[in-house]
Amino acid sequence: MYTDMEQWSEIRRRVLVLGESKRSVCRAFDIHWDTLKKILQHSDPPGYRMSAPRKKRALEAFVPVIEQILSDDRNEPRKQRHTAKRIFERLKAEQGYSGGYTVIKDAVRTWRNQHGEVFVPLLHSPGEAQVDFGQAEIEWKGVRWTAAMFAMTLPYSDAIFLCLFPRECTEAFLEGHRRAFEFFGGVPSRISYDNLKIAVAQHTGPHERELTPAFLRLISHYLFKPHFCRVRRANEKGHVENLIGFSRRNFLVPVPRTESFAALNATLEEQCRADMGRTLRGKERSKAMLLDEERGQLRALPTNAFEAARTATAKSNSLSLVRFDRNDYSVPSAYAHRELTVSAGIEHLRIFCGTEEVATHERCWEKARTIFNPVHYLALLERKPGALDFARPLQEWALPACFDLLRRRLEAEFGDGGTRRYIQVLRLLERVSVGALSAAIERALELGVHDADGVRLILQQRSEQPVGLFCLEGRPQLKSVRVAEPDLQGYGALLNLREVSA
């Protein structure tokens, strides 16, 4: 049974990819003609769709112990190796494991399957791709970090695209696809995945999956067909599995050191392009030549851009903070205690009240951090100027020296009222940059102006543009307007008086 989003995606695919008639699709899905037009105009229904929160498995911390036990068993007599039941008993007694036996049995079976099977080579058609996430160690801003490595490969040409993200998450999954499609110059017709939770909400049968809203939105926009490997059968997308290891050994050794993921990913992209020059064993042409041939089987990129972001609703608290992904982000104090929408991408996080964007922050990938924008609290501080020196959002706010000089002069001239006047000057930052306001303050200090109105006038004067000639082209309604010439006799009389008095 289809969900609304699944039907939306399927209808678009049938009309735009398979070329079915619109009338037959209306009959098949029992929808109105106007509804079909709306579906074909939009890659997803208007509005944000929330994805379900990811759950952590209780077994994850014990997987390395299980794997070590099974690995050590290779050197032991066959009749004295661990059974799944024995491993379960040891984990409970020695490691404090509190989970069930079934997941241990499944983990043991998975390990043995992965280390004992013989696989059949698969045929890869042009225009098909495989996607997976791996991990890679990097040094980010001086700190060792385990990054998520998104990989997409085209097995026919052996072309590969890699990019690193701070963490494996929905927005990284979506952004990785967008960048990969642009790198390859088209969209594969079929993409293979394992059963990662970012894409699969629930298993409904051996080959059936209930997909997450975020993944359905991606499919609806790019119109590719997803294929999911059978559970515990990663060999079905072994091409990307092998190339992740190859790329990690060849592109990320030694451990890269970087100040930004953008710079590191730019280097990775260049390495992927350079890798296109290789000619693999058993093939007569290079990867680049095969990719040029394969592009004929890729779908053209959509003309409208895809927003690779995860959205969620959140309520701001009394401190004008919104919590998202284990961190708190500030919003203007006027939006405290409000239901807001958070749209989080890889680099930036935007917060909306309805359709109005009220705040933008750089995305924080650490946890339990609070990200302030001092400007968000200036309106509140104008009503409570006594809290200026103790306001936490302003503690690390480095402003030019002219701001402190202006405050001292205002407080010397107006006493306690000078602090409020200084905050009024700071509130001009709600509309202009620190650099523009700093230049205006310096000019005001030179002129001896010590109030917000004076600084505002200086800003206005600097932002004004010279008035050019007024053109009547495109304004036929003004061509009949006639303005009388001014009478300058009075001005001439004033000039005569001036000459007489001189």
pLDDT at 56 (0 to 100): 38
pLDDT at 477 (0 to 100): 62
What CATH number is attached to the domain comprising 229? 3.30.420.10
Measured on CA atoms in the order 347, 351, 357, 358, is the torsion positive or negative?
negative
**Half-sphere exposure of residue 205: CA atoms within 13 angstroms, side-chain side:** 3
Same domain, 335 and 287: no
- Is 356 domain-assigned? yes
- Is 346 domain-assigned? yes
- Is 23 domain-assigned? no
Close Cβ partners of 310 (under 8 Å, ≥ 6 residues apart): 51, 169, 170, 171, 174, 214, 343, 344
Contact criterion met (CB below 8 Å) for 220 and 8: yes
- Is 397 domain-assigned? yes
Find the Cα–Cα–Cα–Cα dihedral 493, 496, 500, 502, rounded to 10°: 120
The boundaries of the domain holding residue 324 are 310-371
Distance of CA 322 to the CA centre of its chain: 17
pLDDT at 233 (0 to 100): 60
Same domain, 108 and 136: no
Distance CA 245, CA 434 (A): 47
- Is 213 domain-assigned? yes
Q: How would you write the pLDDT of the chain (502 residues) with one tens digit per residue? A: 344 788 888 888 888 888 889 889 899 888 888 888 888 888 877 655 455 534 436 688 888 888 899 888 888 877 788 998 998 898 888 888 888 888 888 888 888 887 765 555 566 778 999 999 999 999 999 999 999 999 999 999 999 999 999 999 999 999 999 999 999 999 999 999 988 899 998 888 766 789 999 999 999 999 999 988 876 665 566 678 888 888 889 999 899 999 999 999 999 999 999 999 998 888 889 999 999 999 999 999 999 999 999 999 999 999 999 999 999 999 999 999 999 999 999 999 999 999 999 999 999 999 999 999 999 999 999 999 999 999 999 998 999 999 999 999 999 988 888 999 999 999 999 999 999 999 999 999 998 888 888 898 988 888 766 656 556 665 666 666 777 777 767 666 666 665 555 5
Query: Collapsing DSSP states into helix, strand and coil, what is residue 337?
Result: coil
Contact criterion met (CB below 8 Å) for 377 and 333: yes
Q: How many domains does the chain have?
A: 4
pLDDT at 263 (0 to 100): 94
Same domain, 160 and 84: no
Same domain, 200 and 255: yes
Q: How many CB atoms lie within 10 A of CB 382?
A: 17
pLDDT at 422 (0 to 100): 94
DSSP assignments along 304-342, one per residue: SPP---EEEEEE--TTSEEEETTEEEE--GGGTT-EEEE
Distance CA 329, CA 350 (A): 10
* Helix, strand, coil tally for the chain in percent (to 5): 45, 15, 35
Same domain, 257 and 187: yes
- Is 178 domain-assigned? yes
pLDDT at 499 (0 to 100): 57
Contact criterion met (CB below 8 Å) for 458 and 444: yes
